[in-house]
Amino acid sequence: MSSTASTPSYTKDQPLLTRIVENRQLTGPESEKETRHFAIDIAGSGLTYEAGDALGICPTNRPLEVEEIIERLGATGWEAVTMPRGSETVTLREALLNKLALAGPTRRTVELFAQRASAAAERERLQALIAPESVQALAAFTAERHFVDLLTENPSAVLSPQEFVDQLRRLAPRLYSIASSPLVYPERVHLTVSVVRYSTNQRDRHGVCSTFLANRVALGETPVLVFAAESHFRLPQDTSRDVIMVGPGAGLAPFRAFLQQREVTRAPGRNWLFFGEQHRACDYLYREELEAWSGSGHLARLDLAFSRDQAERIYVQQRMLEAAAELWRWLEGGACLYVCGDAKRMAKDVDGALHRIVAEQGAMPVEAAAEYVKRMKREKRYQRDVY
């Protein structure tokens, strides 16, 4: 991301105030997932970005959860509170709505509630959780709860608004890989967002930023604070290099940007995409665009893995192994490999498949294959954007 003296530079501390101008669902109504495409207006703002960068969004919390917390604290919401680790003073409602994270209670929080609980049953239950032998039980307890749960389950614990606020962390911006090239969309930033909704402790949970974008932002009306975050995730400067992209689910986002960029610049290198999701019929994100690129040859190869469309689940790493010989030829020819998406499972599985392909197709021992992959990383030919 470049900027000049005349170009405004936006950061998480000085974000751009703008509007969302497009919000459409990419997954079908029968899908188990909700993945959406958003477009953010940056026309005339001076905000710049490059393919591979991320966009930071500064979300707000759900008003319903905020009001429930205020009610359970026995407060009005207009009480003045000082922000944790700072000197800023705002109303309780402002702090809970815009400035503090409402999830993630810690051992310190449970200890405070145990001290303040006047009901014996509440106090004994909480004290048992913070006993030295209850480390795992405490971890499981806090993992399933937000701060509102502690207030609900321990009504005898009396905390002042300031004491409650002191338990909370700052509400952090969320970063999303940008799904557009500035050469194609200089006045827009596109995002591909998987909307998070789940249940724990018999209570529905809502991803803070994803549901903020999906449900609480009125198109063209609600002000949204954003900033561009420069990334290491970059196309090769040598446009003749081949590019292999592995991006299941919303991990497809930066590769849509890469493909737009490579098309508009007429990069001579070949493009190969591995994309996976659950069902072809309802989870094939940007299907028309991908198939158009495949049909025109801009995508030299498009390998798809729809895991639930057959008895045996198939993922992108299986598709890589099936295409091992060709993938090895691309790598030996200097291709760059990019991976985007889930860090816990997918990225590990893809990395394992890569090591196996290098060892088997290169006829080399495991140690030599590991060194080959390390060299790819050093040369920036193997890049990952995982979360």
- Interatomic CA distance for residues 201 and 314, integer angstroms: 32
267 inside domain: yes
> Do 285 and 355 share a domain, yes or no?
yes
The answer to whether residue 4 is domain-embedded is no
pLDDT in the model for residue 85: 83
pLDDT-based confidence at 84, cuts 50/70/90? Answer: confident
Asked whether residue 50 falls in the same domain as residue 34, the answer is: yes
**Residue 279 burial class via C-beta count within 10 angstroms: exposed 0-12, middle 13-18, buried 19 and up:** middle
269 and 337 co-located in one domain: yes
Mean pLDDT value across the chain = 96
**Is the pLDDT confidence value at 4 over 80?**
no
pLDDT digits (tens, 9 = 90+) for 266-294: 999 999 999 999 999 999 999 999 999 99
Name the 3-class secondary structure at 372.
Answer: helix
Residues 224 and 251 in one domain: no
Closest CA to 167 of 69, 51, 265: 69
Q: Are 152 and 293 in the same domain?
A: no
Our CA dihedral for 317, 318, 321, 323, rounded to 10 degrees, sits at -100
With b meaning 16 or more CB within 10 Å and e meaning fewer, what string describes 280-290? eebbbbbeeeb
Q: What is the pLDDT of residues 341-350, one digit of tens each?
A: 999 899 999 9
For 60, other C-beta atoms within 10 Å of its C-beta total: 19
Same domain for 183 and 160 = no
Same domain, 256 and 276: yes
Name the percent of the chain lying above pLDDT 70.
Answer: 98
Which domain CATH number covers 184? 2.40.30.10
216 in a structural domain:
yes
| Domain final position from 199, 229, 259 | 229
**CA angle centred on 25, ends 24 and 27, rounded to 5°:** 155
Q: Same domain for 69 and 207?
A: no
Assign 8 a pLDDT band (cuts: 50, 70, 90). Answer: low
99 with 149, same domain: the answer is yes
DSSP letter string, 59-125: ----HHHHHHHHHHTT--S--EEEPTTS--EEEHHHIIIIIB--B---HHHHHHHHHH--SHHHHHH
pLDDT band at 373 (very low <50, low <70, confident <90, very high): very high
In 3-state terms, the chain is what percent helix, strand and coil (to 5)? 40, 20, 40
Q: How far is it, in rounded angstroms, from Cα 293 to Cα 197?
A: 32
pLDDT digits (tens, 9 = 90+) for 117-160: 999 999 999 999 999 999 999 999 999 999 999 999 999 999 99
Instruction: Pick the closest to residue 51 from 213, 310, 258 (CA basis).
Output: 258
As for how many domains the chain has, the answer is: 3
Q: 304 with 348, same domain? A: yes
In sequence order, the 6+-apart residues with CB closer than 8 A to the CB of 138 are 107, 110, 129, 130
In this structure, are 119 and 148 located in the same domain? yes
What is the extent of the structural domain holding 54? 16-59+173-229
Sort 345 into a burial class: Cβ within 10 Å, 0-12 / 13-18 / 19+: exposed
Q: SS3 for 260?
A: helix
Mean pLDDT of all residues in 242-265: 98
pLDDT digits (tens, 9 = 90+) for 172-219: 999 999 999 999 999 999 999 999 999 999 999 999 999 999 999 999
The reply to whether 270 and 381 lie within a common domain is yes
Instruction: Give the domain CATH number at 309.
Output: 3.40.50.80
